Structure 1
């Protein structure tokens, strides 16, 4: 078993025109992927422990990083536009090990539910964004 360092992770999301934009160079945290599944309890009298049946998968995730407003490629241009002008889901890809052939890739369709820019007199300008997956997250590998 080999361990993986987060510095090699990659994240990409469609812009409003449907072009997949890799914004990894601005992202320093991805949280919440691959997601969670709801369970419905079906325990009854006489059972010796709780019983559950699988329910719906409901995945939300967040990213954060370094603010950049570069047209078409910066996270402010991509995510800000998705937050205000998105009328269809956007595709996303997340590679916790990087994007070389054979590495794990989580992908799916999502909505941007929040996007914020944050600044402080004593620190860099940063951003954070939250997403809601539409459907399920697919686990595959990079080709």
Structure 2
């Protein structure tokens, strides 16, 4: 097993590469839980349900034509494809593809720092995990 540095991560959204503008990303996965406890039990009993998840990413603001603001704002409320390459681009490296609902785009303007941006998404369907080809 090898440790992988986060700086190699590659992210595209709806076909647009946002890697150069992104410095943080997070993938959350979870399942619904259903209480199936019956009479006579001293402890709760649970069953799993549908899978769900969320993805967020953010970085430093840029005002260019292919910047996160220009790419993400028109996508709010739409379902598009997100591709995540957690170990970077290259033959044999993992790649994840998932449809996501673009929920929120946020900009933060600190008085003593750079403007930053954040995008929150909800997973819509399963994550497809593949290995990148040559």
TM-score range, shorter chain: 0.7 to 0.9
In the alignment, the residues of structure 2 paired with residue 40 and residue 104 of structure 1 have an alpha-carbon distance, to the nearest angstrom, of 33
Measured on the aligned residues, the alpha-carbon RMSD in Å equals 1.9
Secondary structure of 2:74's counterpart equals helix
* TM, length-normalised to structure 1: 0.82
Take 2:120 and 2:53, find their aligned partners in 1: how far apart are those partners? 11
CA drift of 1:69 comes to: 2.5
SS at match of 1:120: coil
- Cα 1:51–1:138 shift into 2, 3 Å: farther
Unaligned stretches of 5+ residues in structure 1: 15-19
Q: Deviations over 1:53-88 (max 9, x none)?
A: 3311111121110111311x21111011212xx5x4
- Tell me the number of residue pairs that the alignment of Structure 1 and Structure 2 aligns: 133
1:17 aligns with none
Structure 2: give runs of 5+ residues left out of the alignment. none
Residue of structure 1 in register with 2:125 after alignment: 135
CA–CA distance in 2 between the matches of 1:2 and 1:59? 26
Answering whether residue 14 of structure 2 is matched by residue 24 of structure 1, we say no
Q: Return the offset for 1:5.
A: 0.3
CA distance in 2, matches of 1:6, 1:94: 12
